[in-house]
Each structure stands twice: as structure tokens, then as C-alpha cells.
Amino acid sequence: MSTFRAPKGTYDLIPPDSAAYLAVREAISAPLRRSGYGYVETPGFEHVELFSRGVGESTDIVTKEMYTLTTRGGDRLALRPEGTASVLRAALEASLHKAGNLPVKLWYSGSYYRYERPQAGRYRHFSQVGAEAIGAEDPALDAELIVLAADAYRSLGLRDVRLLLNSLGDQECRPGYRAVLQDFLRGLDLDEETLRRVEINPLRVLDDKREAVRKQLAGAPMMRDHLCEACKSFHERVRDLLTAAGVAFEDDPRLVRGLDYYTRTTFEFVHDGLGAQSAVGGGGRYDGLSEMIGGPALPSVGWALGVDRTVLALEAEGVTLDLPAATEVYAVPLGEEARDLLFGAVTALRRAGVAADLSYGGRGLKGAMKSANRSGARLALVAGERDLAEGVVQLKDLESGEQRAVPADGITAAVREALG
């Protein structure tokens, strides 16, 4: 055992469990790739100001959870706590919005970092797949992204994921609601920190998970009762499109999520089998974020789905993914001459698209066959001195136990036929 351990609140992905994470990433990204979204990758750290301006200085993410550092040159950097601000920054820096083909549709996958109190489903290092559609104010775009996420969950076999939906209004109607909400919140029995939040961003108080606060919020005014006609129309259009696409949703007037940049459409996917950390993904529209970080007006919408929590949701439902075999054929050479032959055979199989492995280290037949069975392979190739003299190798079906000799110069064809 090593002297060192993974830092608290983090985890290592190792086989065989890592295969499920790869499958989840593939399932989430596949609908995006079929819908015109191109892949983008950003640095693991950014300037602190990108997140303090974009995510919001009053959010827990910025005030309590960001990992920050100062370089030797004096730059203040932060490990990325979320993906949207970084992706929008990259798109602006590359002037993708100037190409004349809006919206710019991007997807990404990576690790993100927040100084959380570690618990099941809540880590300090976590994995997400995200998507952003930049530069268009169209309810069909909001609906498209929600449908793509719902389709990803469905393709994985998840049935108990619920979609919560809300509208947070825009710069026209939110200020009036903000004032009404502040008046209500100032009359409650709240601690000093929460009262400060009331003055900075009162909508965040609606997201407070403490029972003592939630009880007092029972009669709080809701944004849906203060939406302007444009926001009402936009939200209804999103709802109609989701219904037409067969995506069920629940209206949640208290849904605000934890980031300051959201406007209008806001949504969250939850799974009740995960306990307190029930959110498996979510997102919304962020029409003013580009201006917040120094760019032009670019109405946009996006989401991020948690890979770790999706894996936990699969476990909660007892869903077993149909994962591709890590090894389909395992070659067992008995002697150096056989090793040379089977090394070439394994190389040819791999080039033909067959997952193949070789017994290394000069182990005997018994030990090598144990490894073949542990690898999950369907077939074994075995060759010894007598086989070489006859110009054959033994092809064994590890499920049925049947074994037959095949020509040494026809191994690839014989294996492909046996695998169907």
C-alpha cells in the first residue's frame, strides 16, 4: 500500500468501475454529437474574476467552495468549480460568435472542484458532461437541450429521474419581484449571514436547505406570479415543446439553483433514490452572462449533468449497463516460439477491431487460463510446441469449454467467425 492516499473528498476511477463512468459519459454526449454540438476543452483553472463575476460573488461556490491560488507572478487563479463560465470565455476568446452561425453549440466533459463537506454524492472533485448553446434567444433551444438530457438518461435505462422546471424572469420583471421578495424576507427570523444574502441576492435564500429557514418560506412570493408577458410567453413555449416531445416535467416555483447568472428557463433533474444529494444535473438560460464577463450580448442556455451522481442513480435503480468487453480474446503462449506467433496474432486481432490480450511473464497454462477467465474473455488462443509443429493453434470457447484447432495463418478469420 502506498504512503499516500487520495485527498479527502476525492476518488480514483479504476477498473472495472471506471467502465461505467466511461459509458455514462458516452451516453450523455452521444445525443449532443448528433445534434450539432462540437467538443470544447478548457483549462482546469481560470482567473478568479471569471467566476466571481460570472457565477456570482454572493454564491457559496465563490465565497466558500472555490480552490484558489496565487502564482509566482501574482495572478489569482481558481480551479474551475463549474463549466459554463469557462466555455463561454473560450468561445468569446476564439470569436466563435463572429462566424455568423449562431447559436454556437458546444459540449464538454471534465473534472470540477469545490471545497464541499464530503458525503455520498457530494465530492470535492467531481465529473460532469455539459452543453452550451451560445448566441440565440429561442425557447426551442431551451427545449432542445432539456430533451437531449432526458434522452441521455433514458438511453441509460434510468426511469426514476424527474425534471423540475421554473422561470426566473429577466431584467425587465425580476427587479420588481426582487423588491417584493426582499420585503418578505426582511420580516423573517434569519441569521446575519442569510440577511446579508437577502440584500445581495434574495433569490438564493429560496434555495436554502435548512429546515428552520424553509418553514418560514412557506408564504414567500413566487417569481411565476411576477413574470412579464414576454417571459410568460417564453416559458409557456418551452413547456409546450417539452410536452410535444414526450418529456414529462414538474413545475417548481422555488427552483433557483446555485448560480447567479440564470435567467428565464431554469431546470433540474433529480433522482429520489439518492437521498439529500438528489440532483443529478441541471441548467438554464443565462442571457446576461456574456456581458458580465466583458463580452457582447449573447443570450445563451446550457446544462451540466453529473457523471458521478448518474452512476449512483443507476446503482439505486439496479440498472446494469451493457458494457463492451475489455477483452474478447486471451492468448496463452507456451514457450518463446509460441509467444512470437501469438504476439503477432494479438496485434492482428486488435487491428481488426477485436479486443485481445496476451499472457505475459511466462506463466504456465493453469495460471494463464485463470487470468483468461478473470479477464472476461469469451475465447482463448493456446499454442504450444506440438501446435506449432502442426501449424495450428487451439481456439477455446471459455463459456462452453469447447476447443478446436485452427490454422495458424487463419487465426483472425476464425476468431471473428467464433465471435459472430
At 17-29, the pLDDT tens digits run: 899 999 999 999 9
**Separation of first and last alpha carbons in the chain:** 42
What are the angstrom distances between the C-alpha of 215 and each of 109, 185, 211, 252? 38, 12, 6, 17
281 forms beta bridges with 269, 305
Cell numbers for 160: 426514476
**For 333, how many CA atoms within 13 A lie in the half-sphere containing its CB?**
20
pLDDT at position 57 is: 65
**Residue 1 has what pLDDT?**
66
Q: In what order do the strands lie in the sheet with 45-47?
A: 45-47, 76-79, 68-70
Residue 259 pLDDT: 65
φ, ψ of residue 300 in degrees (nearest 5): -150, 165
Whole-number average pLDDT of the chain: 92
Tell me the three cell numbers of residue 172. 425587465
pLDDT for 64 = 78
Please state, for a pLDDT cut of 70, what percent of the chain lies above it: 98
- Could you identify the residue written with the cell 480474446? 329
User: Which among 90-94, 172-176, 218-222 has the top mean pLDDT?
Assistant: 90-94
- 131: β partners: 107, 303
Q: Is the pTM of this model over 0.85?
A: yes
74-79 contacts, C-beta under 8 A, 24 or more apart: 75/47, 76/47, 76/48, 76/49, 77/45, 77/46, 77/47, 77/48, 78/45, 78/46, 78/47, 78/48, 78/50, 78/51, 79/44, 79/45, 79/112, 79/113
Complete domains list, the chain, with CATH: 18-173+227-317 (3.30.930.10), 329-419 (3.40.50.800)
pLDDT at 234: 97
The string of pLDDT tens digits covering residues 33-54 is 999 999 999 999 999 999 888 7
Burial label, 16 (beta-carbon count in 10 A; 0-12, 13-18, 19+): exposed
CA distance 116 to 99: 40
pLDDT digits (tens, 9 = 90+) for 304-336: 999 999 999 999 999 999 888 889 999 999 999
